[in-house]
Chains A and B, each alone.
Chain A
Amino acid sequence: MSAERRRRKDLAHHQAIETGRTRLFLLATLMMLAFLAVGVRLIELTLFREGSEPRIANATPPASWQTERADILDRNGEILATSLRTASLYADPVRVLDPQAAARALARLLPRANRKEILERLRSKRRFTWIRRHLTPQQQYAVNRLGIPGLYFQQEEHRVYPHGHLAAHVVGFTGVDNRGLAGIEKSFDAALRQGSGPLRLSLDIRVQHILADEIGKAMRRFQAIGGSGVVMDVTSGEVLGLVSLPDFDPNRPGAASPDAMFNRATLGIYEMGSTFKIFTAAMALESGKATLDSVYDASKPIRIARFAIEDYKPKNRWLSVPEILMYSSNIGAAKMAKDLGATLQQDYLSRLGLLSPPALELPEIGAPLAPYPWREINLLTIAYGHGLAVSPIQLASAVAAVVNGGISRPATLLYHAGAPTEGARILSEKTSEQMRRLLRLVVDSGTGSHAAAEGYLVGGKTGTAEKNDANGYAGKGLRSSFVGAFPMQAPRYVVFALLDEPKGDKQTYGYATGGWVCAPIVSNVISRMAPLLGVAPIDEEAPEVERQMFIEIHEQEKRLASF
């Protein structure tokens, strides 16, 4: 290799290196720009961007939760009955290797378990035997941990009634196989099992609680053997409260006595006593046989056949229609009925729904007990509530029709949002309006004064019936009641309360009549429930209200009802 060639080659190499370096520098610059871009982007992302929302665990959408029996709700969505998924433990005895050890382990694990009984089951020759129904998840886990072959779980559902006693007679209960055996659970068994969403009742659990609370307190105070109550919306027939005491825990229906299971509000039928005078007066006024000015001779008892119809506190004079209600005169009511005649009486009673079973959505419905044949004596006694037995729900329904403008609507336990339902007119607006004044008069100045609830313009009628048995009315004790409605210038709710065999105490001067023992219940229930239901109190002595409630009492003196 010549020196010249080497020199040229060195030069070429030098040039090549120089080119390489220049271009390497260019490359380095480009790469640095790229790294710089990443750095700037990092600053933007970390410092100038919001982070993510805190992540929450994915919840299973509640829609996919299907139980084999739908919930029952009150009108505000409060759960009255719901289903819990549980596991029930059963065994295939053939696969259990060591029944002795298994029985011992299970008896230790399950409360109230009997080792011998489990052992017997595990030694049986069958391929299936229940060990325990409805285990808690903890118990299921513990059983699984035992690792005993031959034990299996069956997924089941367990019906739970969170309010326990409170709505037991309405909601009812189910058996161990989850079929409805009473109440709404029974009457809507098919619908609930179809799983077409929860069933919403007209019941308001708050009103139910108030009603049960007040009736229960009165029962204890007056040592009554039973009680019942109804709160009903007069414009829709919706039942907001339905109480029958004593009651039971639907979570454990097996432990209840037959008496506690008996629904006194719908299945029990009773001679209601003087509350029937409401209907007698209403039909007399509606038929035109009487006006508010009519007077009847109540100066002496009526003698018919072997009976004598007497007044509880006789006035021994002629009484006007308002006075008959005010003083609750049996003689006066009987005389009014006599003018009316049996046919008209039957006709009106039938239209008021008092002669046929009510169409309430419960299986426990009592049919009224009416006399046959309908003699004159029946005509006279039914006028003041004896000789015809009806259930509390029927009575409340009929009173609602009398005060709501004269339209009869079937009582219902299903939610209607308080909207008026289809109804049949049975009284004129005018008669209904007159009846409202009369009922207000009873509370304002008559036997029902203990039902007053300041501001709510309560009207109503007492009822006290002597209990009878096969041997007749023989001082077996009383069945006292009060039916009220409020506010009387435009009634919204009917409240009914009944006590079975109450005993008067010192504060009632020994009296156990409806006016003394049941009217206060209605008063308390109304003062407690009205604020919850949005009924505003009014000034009962405002001129406008007094004018609306004004009634003339024809006799020796004229007077204002609200004096």
Chain B
Amino acid sequence: MPTNPDLARTQRWLQNFIVEPGTDEQALASESVKNEYAGDVSQMVVPSRTLTSAERVGVYRGMYLLRMEEALTTDYPVLKSFLGDEVFFELISRYVERYPSRSHSLNFLGRSLPKFIGESTDLADREFLRDLAAFELAIAEVFDEEQTPVLSPEEIAKVPEQAWETARLQPIAALRLCKFDYPVSMFKEAYRDDEGFPEVLPGNQWLAIHRRDYRVYWTTLDEPGYDLLGLLVKGGVLGEAIESICLKYEGQVGDVEIFTWFQDWVSQGLFQSLETG
């Protein structure tokens, strides 16, 4: 093996040493590290007066997972609080091994965490944790979404009555509609209010997570409202969407419910424009 390795080899060696799971000794002995340089680490990195060569590289290894944890804590504070520091750290250590950062920004590091949790068969309350993580991810995405105009009640009032049947509504960019198998917002609210977490019990929850005046809110919907809003944000024609929901939920949904939902959604600023005809 060369004692004067080229730059590419040097970088692959150091990176593999840093990200390899396990102890420093295990990382040094790993195939990924040995493939780049199999000689003594002191031939790559000189020791200092106070640290061995391996310890010097170990400084970077130690900081790597701490930095990943810090980034993921920003996006998933409730998940971390629920799991506890130790379990969360173990989870994210396995997560970044599977999904290391491939972006210039740490903002994107946690995008696959809900999926990873869903695939982690050894996690207790896996489905709940997946839903909780998905809720926190939606909040993070809404926070960073582009700012788009908001359709005001006054603009709505100007639309002629006959135009409503064929109108289409465009949602704001900072909106996510999510269905969960667990009442995840209760856990977020408990965390926010510094209260103990409720018991984990299944229960459907439909949420609209949205941003207004640069603050993120979540609104609990019932299933018919969620379905209708879902049709609208996908570009459905208003008249057809309403008819479809009234048919599906016959006896439960009528004009009063439709009007109330629509009034709420406009006041919450969920739409940016309305296209008629």
Q: Do A and B come from one complex?
A: no
Residues of A within 8 A of B (CB): none
Residues of B within 8 A of A (CB): none
